[in-house]
């Protein structure tokens, strides 16, 4: 993997994880307003973005093979932080939206 491809993968990881997080926060706000159809649609879209981010991460891991083939720059650490936050927010958003759904019935 050349440097340009590595940078593209890392930036795609950041973008996909960031989109996931943004959609989930919007879904939580929609649920707060009682717009559960919109919230559910946003969660489904966020799951696709998260799936894409995981795919990129898996490609990077497979290329590296645990042998340190890929450099770990601060931007890669930043990308992993974004992904970790997106995964955590996916779990939390589901719980928050479910709570909103129950309390508004």
Domains belonging to the chain, first-starting first, are: 3-103 (1.20.58.80)
Greater confidence (78 vs 104) lies with 78
- State the catalytic residues: 78
pLDDT mean over 69-84:
91
Q: What is residue 53's predicted lDDT score, i.e. its pLDDT?
A: 96
Closest CA relative to residue 58, chosen from 13, 100, 18, 17: 13
Rg (CA), the chain: 16
pLDDT mean over 68-93:
93
Is residue 64 marked as binding? Answer: no
pTM: 0.90
Query: How do residues 26-40 score in pLDDT, each as one tens digit?
Result: 999 999 999 999 999
């Amino acid at each position: 993997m050349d440097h340009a491809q590595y940078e593209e993968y890392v930036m795609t990881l950041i973008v996909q994880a960031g989109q996931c997080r943004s959609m989930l926060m919007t879904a939580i706000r929609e649920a707060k307003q009682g717009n559960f159809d919109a919230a559910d649609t946003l969660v489904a879209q966020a799951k696709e973005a998260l799936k894409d981010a995981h795919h990129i991460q898996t490609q990077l891991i497979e290329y590296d093979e645990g042998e340190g083939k890929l450099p770990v720059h601060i931007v890669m650490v930043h990308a992993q932080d974004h992904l970790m936050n997106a995964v955590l927010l996916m779990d939390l958003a589901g719980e928050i939206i479910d709570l909103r759904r129950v309390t508004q019935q």
